Structure 1
Amino acid sequence: MTTDTTTQGNAPGATTPGRTVLDARGVTMRFGGLTAVRGVDLTVNSGEIVGLIGPNGAGKTTFFNCLTGLYTPTEGEVRYQGQLLPPKSFKVTAAGIARTFQNIRLFANMTVLENVLVGRHTRTKEGFWSAVLRGPGFHRAEKASRARAMELLDFVGLAAKADHLARNLPYGEQRKLEIARALASEPGLLLLDEPTAGMNPQETRATEELVFAIRDQGIAVLVIEHDMRFIFNLCDRVAVLVQGEKLVEGDSATVQGDDRVVAAYLGEPLDNDPGAAEAAEVEAAEAHAGTHAGTPADPGTPADPDPAAGQQNKETDR
């Protein structure tokens, strides 16, 4: 499987090279008496690919949810291009941050093209009456959105399947479609949550090439992944979360050579280890919070994914 990465120029939401795009300071997330994320600081600059790794239950997806407005952090703040982000997922998307999920969240009974068009809604200026009356402005906007959606499908290698139902795509192509839908909102920062989970080596390599191509368009990328070879080949910097806290951050050589990282992945006890029982309680609390979040639908969070897709509606850190 190959990916066409020959697009020209920068993406519409791209930012000035070297500028700080994401600045998370002291992010803490508690579920009752359980602390899933504790005082995490992380920055991402434009033109960078930053990795976030850690053992199962380390709090990686919870941290992502705090960055994207699905959760409101108990403490700390998240800024995008210097502006404090509101704790609403659709407003975070409008500001310029897009994401994908561990469990694919596509609209299974919509076509590939329609799924990408959903991602355009934050950049569409036409209002309710324009849609009802369907005047010239509406048709111009619709034509422009379809053209941009087809560009993105061509970018990820799915243009030939624009009219296929999303549920009929192979797993690897569903992952690509979710990325295309996220890119449709013209983000300056793309968050990828385990983009290669369940992929074979060829699909993983194609995803790596695609992420590099996204970065080359000027979009910063923050990625969670358990495939260490993928992460260390891909990322400029890597941060390690253990028990909800940032253990170390640096380039690939620094992280791989840190004895604490090795100990965390081998399961050796660290200071103040809460133990497996409390870690399981944190995961259960995250799942409960995700089930009752009630967040508005946005390009990455369909309100009612089709059950035929066989996807779960909750986000838990695996």
Structure 2
Amino acid sequence: MTTMTTTTDAPVLTATGVTMRFGGLTAVRTVDLTVHHDEIVGLIGPNGAGKTTFFNCLTGLYRPTEGTVTYRDTVLPPKPHLVTRAGIARTFQNIRLFANMTVLENVLVGRHTRTREGLLSALLRSPRFHRAEAASTQRAMELLDFTGLAPKADHLARNLPYGEQRKLEIARALASDPGLLLLDEPTAGMNPQETRATEALVRAIREQGTAVLVIEHDMRFIFNLCDRVAVLVQGEKLVEGTSDTVQADERVIAAYLGTPFEGAPGQEELAEVEAAEAEAAHAEEDR
């Protein structure tokens, strides 16, 4: 077993030359990105830019065609449960809660990667199992309190308002005690009040020692929140820097307005990449 150590200056996440091809189509091309332990980093780009595909490469859902992803200097295997165990958790663009389980039970599911009790211990209901179960429940309730959901611990997840379902997904992800949290469009479908609450929650997560990498279409949310922002355009990293640097870049403005810049792929290639990403996403959901 490899022992992972960190320093103040060492990145939590390092993606080097990450490329993802679907057949002859390239959805992500040689993308480099780092996230440090005390950072909130944003990843933005127009629809079809390859943001979610890149996230899927980071979290083991896809095996990159080329490049490496390391967490605290250890190369990550392309297996989602092993990536989670290593210390990276994520939420999804489309909410993936267990609708017929309670709020508390959903968080406990996220806790299983940090428990060591085996099947025999569970079947025998040993004292060790009961201690572990009590500790997991205590930690889950702490996370529900942190996200403001403790009063609804016994409610079914399906009965929560949309914004609270998003919070529950975050609580469940945090249950694995990650060093890095990846958020895929956490404010999608939210009203302004819910968006502000999510911004405050993400800041609080960082203050508790968890780095954050976030995909989002809400530019105000991203630029208010993030220490650095990277821009993907048609699978390639166009620019990276502070919010002011990114907002002032004419290529970013052109990309969002749909204006071609020198070297930009054409709309036909963009449509092909979007279709390949969608097909891969459907295949993953069917697994």
SS at match of 2:262: coil
Partner of 2:120: 129
CA apart distance, 1:291: 2.7
CA distance in 2, matches of 1:112, 1:276: 43
Report Cα offsets for 1:131-174 as digits up to 9, x if no partner.
11110000000000000000000000000000000000000000
CA distance in 2, matches of 1:274, 1:16: 40
Partner of 1:48: 39
**Are 1:72 and 2:63 matched, yes or no?**
yes
CA distance in 1, matches of 2:114, 2:189: 32
Deviates more, 1:83-92 or 1:262-271: 262-271
Partner of 2:269: 278
The structure showing larger relative contact order (alpha-carbon pairs under 8 Å, at least 6 residues apart) is 1
Please point out which of 162, 166, 169 is paired with 2:157: 166
Partner of 2:214: 223
For the Cα contact (< 8 Å) 1:15–1:218, is it kept in 2?
no
Report Cα offsets for 1:171-223 as digits up to 9, x if no partner.
00000000000000000000000001111111000000000000001100000
Partner of 1:8: none
Partner of 1:251: 242
Partner of 1:11: none
CA apart distance, 1:289: 1.9
CA distance in 1, matches of 2:139, 2:262: 51
Write out aligned runs for 1:301-316 (5 A). Answer: 313=285
CA distance in 2, matches of 1:111, 1:241: 37
CA distance in 2, matches of 1:18, 1:203: 33
For the Cα contact (< 8 Å) 1:241–1:247, is it kept in 2?
yes
Partner of 1:233: 224
Deviates more, 1:14-23 or 1:218-227: 14-23
**Are 1:26 and 2:27 matched, yes or no?**
no
Deviates more, 1:17-26 or 1:221-230: 17-26
For the Cα contact (< 8 Å) 1:15–1:188, is it kept in 2?
no
CA distance in 2, matches of 1:131, 1:280: 50
CA distance in 1, matches of 2:63, 2:131: 38
CA distance in 1, matches of 2:147, 2:259: 41
Structure 2: runs of 5 or more not aligned: none
Partner of 1:7: none
CA distance in 2, matches of 1:143, 1:253: 47
Could you tell me which amino acid in structure 1 is paired with residue 76 of structure 2?
A: L
CA apart distance, 1:282: 1.3
CA distance in 2, matches of 1:18, 1:172: 35
Write out aligned runs for 1:82-231 (5 A). Answer: 82-231=73-222
CA distance in 2, matches of 1:133, 1:291: 40
Could you tell me which amino acid in structure 1 is paired with residue 247 of structure 2?
A: Q
CA distance in 1, matches of 2:146, 2:187: 18
Could you tell me which amino acid in structure 2 is paired with residue 136 of structure 1?
A: P
SS at match of 2:69: strand
SS at match of 2:56: helix
CA apart distance, 1:15: 6.3
Partner of 1:10: none
Could you tell me which amino acid in structure 2 is paired with residue 25 of structure 1?
A: T
Cα separation, partners in 2 of 1:191 and 1:15, compared to 1, 3 Å: farther
SS at match of 1:292: helix
SS at match of 2:187: coil
SS at match of 1:71: coil
Report Cα offsets for 1:101-123 as digits up to 9, x if no partner.
11100000000000000001100
